[in-house]
Amino acid sequence: MIIKNKSNGKVLASNVILCDSFLKRCKGLMFKKISESDCCILVNPYMSTFESSIHMMFVPQDLEVVWADEDLNVVDVKKCKRGTLNPLTWRTYKPRKPAKYVIELLNARGTLKGDELRFID
């Protein structure tokens, strides 16, 4: 699967890890290093800010996270800092508006709130 930003024409990722179950969403990218072409998509059962929140515990890299609604419109984009072994560095991040998709990647390639995304098989 490829994720493309329809608004700016850039490909966000061409190697997608799909996390569509509760356990897969909980694990996300914990203990995994990814490359510039990789991303993880967390698919929530419904639109929510709570269900779309993420943690960065045991994630070995800083990430840019894109949240999108059920129509693949971007509702928020944030730079998220990796956690360390020190619990004081553990943070959670959530979107400002409800989201169905959480896309974790190294570089959001200029994706902005309001952009439209496309998933291509």
Enumerate domains of the chain plus CATH numbers.
Answer: 2-115 (2.60.120.1140)
Cα gap 92→55, rounded to integer Å = 4
**What pLDDT is recorded for position 12?**
95
Cα gap 83→104, rounded to integer Å = 15
pLDDT digits (tens, 9 = 90+) for 72-91: 999 999 999 988 888 888 88
Cα gap 62→51, rounded to integer Å = 21
- pTM of structure: 0.91
- pLDDT at residue 36 is higher than 90: no
Tokens of 35: 């490359």
**What pLDDT is recorded for position 101?**
96
